Amino acid sequence: MIYNSIIDVIGNTPLVRLHRVTGDLKLTVAAKVEYLNPGQSVKDRIAVKMIDDAEQKGLLKPGGTIIEGTSGNTGMGLALVAAVRGYKCIFTTTDKQSQEKIDLLRALGAKVEVCPTNVAPDDPRSYYSVAKRLSREIPNSYYPNQYDNPSNSRAHYETTGPEIWEQTEGRVTHYVAGMGTGGTITGASTYLKEKNPDIQVVGVDSVGSVYKKYFETGEFDEDEIKPYITEGIGEDIIPGNVNMDLIDAVVQVGDKDAMQMTRRLAKEEGLFIGGSCGAAVFGALQYAREQNLGENDVMVVILPDSGTRYISKIYNDNWMREHGFME
Ligand code: PMP
């Protein structure tokens, strides 16, 4: 079997049972290992879908430039697709992101503009604003805007959801995913709840993000916004791709718990993954304990990306100690 290009290798990632971090819990916890995508993250799925849809609608023409605000993973996916299809890429990102992520994007031929983290989204210096401005200024450019682009959650409706349903032979009872743009949770939940409305959907948020309060009260509360370290989950805006009606519970996880669980997953399960994976598993296990889930429950947890992007951070003892995540 010879694939036509690396794009055709995206998706169909395996479900892997967790054994040790689950302690004495009796339920099945299955991790969907998204770092086995060619760009090493779940975001390859939305990259190819957003580009396919833009080409079909005539929004992206041959030789065009793709401009996006991305924490790195979406950029990596877009850069792969752009390399194969001959597009240019410019990404805006924040100074909170790992240097590894930025270097990787540049390795694939993209230009990267690093913007300040702690400015309001509508500040002209924010990575949202800079991406929007560049897309207005540069001719023949396309701004996918993963936050509000329906192709984002659609990608998970068409791929992640059906894969989970088929891989568990319809036995999945709980679906757990971190919430960044909300595409992963919304798209797959839509599919899974169509198949079985009893499936419970748990969103994992970061302490310092607006989602949990918004889920509980329906109100956007600026006072919830605090700096945090975990990359990829939590927001200071409510993106168009989040549909709270599909979500049954939101669990907030702090940086220390996220980072320590990330390290445990590498050491105890052989899963070399990023910090939002630790957050997702920590949140999933906390929920399973609180709800007394047992033998008949099958919980699928999305592990969004790879540890290679965090070697100088989560996998560095000095960094862990400096942040108080390790003794
Ligand atoms: N974890 C990581 C590492 C990510 O890059 C993202 C995407 N922002 C997520 C989790 C959350 O996925 P989504 O944007 O689909 O909510």
The ipTM value here is 0.98
Tell me what pLDDT residue 109 has. 93
Measured in angstroms, how far is the CA atom of residue 294 from the centroid of ligand 1? Answer: 28
d(CA 154, CA 150): 6
Find, among 228, 66, 214, the residue nearest to 145 by Cα.
Answer: 66
**Nearest atom of ligand 1 to the alpha carbon of 277:** 1
Measured in angstroms, how far is the CA atom of residue 233 from the centroid of ligand 1? Answer: 6
Is 124 in the same domain as 109?
A: yes
Is 202 in the same domain as 237?
A: yes
Total domains present in the chain: 2
Last residue of a domain, one of 98, 115, 142: 142
Is 228 in the same domain as 115?
A: no
pTM summary value: 0.95
Q: Is the CB of 304 under 6 A from ligand 1?
A: yes
Is 227 in the same domain as 196?
A: yes
Is 64 in the same domain as 169?
A: no
Q: Is the CB of 277 under 6 A from ligand 1?
A: no
d(CA 229, CA 93): 15
Q: What is the residue range of 54's domain?
A: 43-142
Q: Is the CB of 231 under 6 A from ligand 1?
A: yes
Burial (CB count within 10 angstroms: exposed 0-12, middle 13-18, buried 19+), residue 228: middle
CB atoms within 10 A of CB 88: 16
**Nearest atom of ligand 1 to the alpha carbon of 71:** 5
Position 107 in a domain: yes
Tell me what pLDDT residue 71 has. 66
Q: Print pLDDT tens along the chain (327 aa).
A: 999 999 999 999 999 999 999 999 999 999 999 999 999 999 999 999 999 999 999 999 999 999 998 868 999 999 999 999 999 999 999 887 778 778 889 999 999 999 998 898 899 999 989 999 999 999 999 999 998 999 999 999 999 999 999 999 999 999 999 999 999 999 999 999 999 999 999 999 999 999 999 999 999 988 999 999 999 999 988 988 899 999 999 999 999 999 999 999 999 999 999 999 999 999 999 999 999 999 999 999 999 999 998 999 999 999 999 999 998
Output the domain CATH number for residue 74: 3.40.50.1100
Active-site residue, from 43, 49, 212, 313:
43
**Nearest atom of ligand 1 to the alpha carbon of 73:** 5
Q: Whose CA is nearest to atom 5 of ligand 1?
A: 232
Is 92 in the same domain as 129?
A: yes
Last residue of a domain, one of 105, 124, 142: 142
Is 268 in the same domain as 213?
A: yes
Under 8 Å between Cβ of 160 and 32? yes
The HSE-up count of residue 92 (CA atoms within 13 Å, CB side) is 23
d(CA 304, CA 242): 17
Is 217 in the same domain as 310?
A: yes
Q: Is 43 annotated in the active site? A: yes
Is 134 in the same domain as 283?
A: no
Measured in angstroms, how far is the CA atom of residue 1 from the centroid of ligand 1? Answer: 31
Position 272 in a domain: yes
Is 29 in the same domain as 89?
A: no
Is 195 in the same domain as 296?
A: yes
Position 1 in a domain: no
d(CA 267, CA 53): 40
Is 304 in the same domain as 163?
A: yes
Residue 21 in tokens: 């971090």
Q: Whose CA is nearest to atom 4 of ligand 1?
A: 232
Last residue of a domain, one of 100, 122, 142: 142
Q: Is the CB of 314 under 6 A from ligand 1?
A: no
Measured in angstroms, how far is the CA atom of residue 71 from the centroid of ligand 1? Answer: 9
